[in-house]
Amino acid sequence: MSASEVAGLREDIENLYEAVPQLKNVFNIKDKIGEGTFSSVYLGTALLKSGEEEKFALKHLIPTSHPVRIAAELQCLTEAGGQENVMGIKYCLRKNDHVVIIMPYLEHESFLDILNNLTFDEVRDYMFNLLKALRHIHHFGIVHRDIKPSNFLYNRRLKEYALVDFGLAQGTPDTKIELLKVVKSEGQQGSCSLNKAHITGNRVSVPHPSSKPLAPPSASKVPISKPGALSQSQIKAGKDGKEGFVNLSAQRSVFGERNFNIRISAPTDIAIMRPIKQPRMMMDVSSRKLAPRKKVVPLKTASSVAARKSASTCPSNLTCDCYATDRVCSVCLSRRQQVAARAGTPGFRAPEVLTKCPDQTTAIDVWSAGIIFLSLLSGRYPFFKASDDLTALAQIMTILGSRETIRAAKTFGKSVLCSKEAPAQNLRTLCENLRGTNLSGRKSDPMHRPLNSCGPDLQTDNPKKETFVSPQSHEEQDQKMLPPKNTVTGDFKRMRIDMKGWDLVPDEAYHLLGRLLDLNPATRITADEALVHPFFRALSS
């Protein structure tokens, strides 16, 4: 830590003491352990009556968080937390609009640091415990919406796990968390901002959500905004007009309602994908034109209800002249965007989230768990690194197949067009090649080789290159992805000793992976079912 960083930390801690003075009576705040768009998390110690020091995690929510959102996060922790690998809560302190959630501190690993030295058995345990946490919250009717390694704390030494961060959680229709019912209805009313500033020509540009500097790509805190919290942000934006929040609302409207002839720009190869809404969901052109052009539209207004009504009653034969072309026509430009929550980080979002399917269930968390499993099996993190949803969807297609993705999307009412076909890859071959454990002489089909869109090392800062690649370029990429040839032959014996179980990955692992990453949420395995999958036979739930 540099001197200026130390000074900055000191200042942050002083500010927190000032904002919530009660803290000073109990806690000695020592360090900042997490900083995101919506909170800062500190490590604090408290002196117990016994004379012992106990560690706590103090999560200071940004003061602009919506009170209902905060209360819902707290209710998730109090009702579902403290058991089954879900973080519990000890206290909560508040002064004015400053809220600090106090949790037991769980020291944890950085996912990236341990990813490539975990044994296969550790990976199995990790997945089992993650799924256990998911089963538990799903029984409570909680959809976490932001399942990723930085929200699943893992203490390798103690074999302890804790799911954290209910800041984006939503409720299922029968949720047991009362406040999630409120949060959910807000989310569904959601944003109806009509913002085209971020679609210029055929390119989609995602504005940076805040003025905070970007973290390096490998950092656990990916500086992606949390669109799910947007409805609250928007309420706030009207009140205090915080710049960051206005930007957030702009970011959410990257997807227009049907103006999906969005070209994923690439210098050489172009993928055009157009998730197209089903006719019954399309809106009447005239009502679209009347849609307010304000950036922020108040929730639950009569006009948004009316707009919704007209959406369901509009003629089904309404078409435009840009279908299957790479431009966006004026009709489409004036369409209202579809309202659907899109929380989380693009690389972890399920296809139904990426295509803004309005019915999102607990299955979205299971998908994200599948993405984590994919990282663990392949040794690549983040596996999909996409700055926007279309790129993320294109990356999914390169692994699970474009036809398969299109077919699945149909089942949840979305048509996706893709300019180029990408075959589904064999998951074992893919993971073994990426991990460098494909030593068994298993012949890898060139079409089943890894693509450049799946490894962080091949990512580029140039957004123009963030696209999915043409099959012709695979060969080139393989040179970088596969282990050097001599490790396959000469060092084979020595390597076997250090394989940590990676030479004996059973087929069940890849079967489960495929079931977690089922493109169709209706048939995707549940956490409940996954825990009794043959992959976990040796473990008990």
What residues are annotated to the active site?
146
Q: How far is the CB of 129 from ligand ADP (least distance, A)?
A: 16
Count the site residues for Zn ion by CB under 5 A: 5
The single-letter code of the amino acid at 470 is S
**Residue of 106, 110, 96, 90 lying closest to 27 (CA atoms):** 90
What's the closest the beta carbon of residue 169 comes to Mg ion, in angstroms? 11
Q: Least distance to ligand ADP from the beta carbon of 76, Å? A: 11
Joined tokens for residue 357: 């399917």
The minimum distance between CB 263 and Zn ion, in angstroms, equals 14
H/E stretch holding 127: helix 120-139
The two tokens of residue 95 are: 């002064």
* Residue 165 binds Mg ion (CB under 5 A): yes
Q: Which is nearer to Mg ion, 229 or 418 (CB)?
A: 229
Query: Could you tell which of ligand ADP, Zn ion, Mg ion, none binds residue 126, using a CB distance below 5 to 8 A set by kind?
Result: none
Binding at 329: pick from Mg ion, Zn ion, ligand ADP, none (beta carbon under 5-8 Å per type): Zn ion
Residue written as token pair 């999906």 = 260
- Dmax of the chain from CA atoms? 75
Amino acid at position 403, single letter: R
Burial tier of 463 (Cβ tally within 10 Å: 0-12, 13-18, 19+): middle
Instruction: Give the nearest distance from C-beta 72 to ligand ADP in angstroms.
Output: 13
CA distance 84 to 81: 8
Tokens of 244: 């960051």
Give whole-number Cα distances, 485 to 66, 429, 446, in Å: 56, 17, 17
At closest approach, how far in Å is the CB of 118 from Zn ion? 48
Token pair 């040179």 in the structure block, residue: 479
> Which 3 state secondary structure label does DSSP give 506?
coil
Window of 161-169, 227-235, 326-334, 386-394 that interacts with ligand ADP by CB under 6 A: 161-169
Using CB under 6 A as the binding rule, the residues of this chain from 204 to 223 that contact ligand ADP are 220
Instruction: Give residue 174's Cα distance to chain centre.
Output: 23
Q: Which of residues 126-145 bind Zn ion (CB under 5 A)?
A: none
Smallest separation (angstroms) from ligand ADP to the CB of 98: 15
Residue 345 touching ligand ADP (CB under 6 A): no
Give the contact letters, 38-77, x = binds to ligand ADP (CB under 6 A), - = no: xx-x---------------x-x------------------
**Amino acid type, 224:** I
Among 26, 33, 114, 488, binds ligand ADP (CB under 6 A): 33
Q: Which does 320 bind (CB under 5 to 8 A by kind): Mg ion, ligand ADP, Zn ion, none?
A: Zn ion
59 binds, among ligand ADP, Zn ion, Mg ion, none (CB under 5 to 8 A by kind): ligand ADP
Q: Which does 87 bind (CB under 5 to 8 A by kind): Mg ion, ligand ADP, Zn ion, none?
A: ligand ADP
Q: What is the dihedral of CA 102, 81, 358, 342, to 10 degrees?
A: 40
- Residues 193-207 as b or e (16 or more Cβ within 10 Å = b): bbbeebbeebebbbe
**How near is the Cβ of 290 to Mg ion at its closest, in Å?**
39
Residue 73 interacting with Mg ion (CB under 5 A): no
Phi/psi at 229 (nearest 5 deg)? -90, 10
* Contacts to Zn ion from residues 304-363, by CB under 5 A: 320, 322, 329, 331-332
- Closest C-alpha to 261, from 417, 470, 421: 417
Strand partners, 61: 39, 99
Name which of residues 100 to 159 contact ligand ADP (CB under 6 A): 103-106, 150-151, 153
Cβ closest to Mg ion, residue 343 vs residue 399? 343
Cis before 382? omega within 30: yes
325 CB contacts (<8 Å, ≥6 apart)? 261
Residue 433 touching ligand ADP (CB under 6 A):
no
Minimum CB distance to Zn ion smaller for 291 or for 525? 291
For Zn ion, the closer of residues 416 and 512 by Cβ is 416
Q: Least distance from C-beta 459 to ligand ADP, angstroms?
A: 22
Q: Which is nearer to ligand ADP, 87 or 283 (CB)?
A: 87
Out of Zn ion, ligand ADP, Mg ion, none, which partner does residue 433 contact, by CB within 5 to 8 A per kind? Answer: none
Cβ neighbors of 456 (< 8 A, separation 6 or more) are 217, 218, 380, 381, 382, 385
Side chain identity, residue 114: I
Binds 357: which of Zn ion, Mg ion, ligand ADP, none (CB < 5-8 Å by kind):
none
The residue range among 165-173, 252-260, 280-288, 290-298 that interacts with Mg ion, by the rule CB under 5 A, is 165-173
SS3 assignment, position 404: helix
Q: Which is nearer to ligand ADP, 103 or 364 (CB)?
A: 103
Strand order in the sheet with 98-104: 27-35, 39-47, 53-61, 98-104, 91-95
State which of positions 459-518 bind ligand ADP (CB under 6 A).
Answer: none
d(C-alpha 437, C-alpha 205), whole Å: 38
Does 87 contact ligand ADP by CB under 6 A? yes
Q: What φ, ψ does residue 160 adopt, rounded to 5°?
A: -115, 150
Segment 267 to 286, residues that bind Mg ion, using CB under 5 A: none
3 state DSSP class of 91: strand
Instruction: Please report how close the Cβ of residue 382 comes to Mg ion at its closest, in angstroms.
Output: 14
**Where along the sequence are the contacts to ligand ADP (CB under 6 A)?**
33-34, 36, 38-39, 41, 57, 59, 87, 103-106, 150-151, 153, 164-165, 167, 220
**Where along the sequence are the contacts to Mg ion (CB under 5 A)?**
151, 165
**Where along the sequence are the contacts to Zn ion (CB under 5 A)?**
320, 322, 329, 331-332
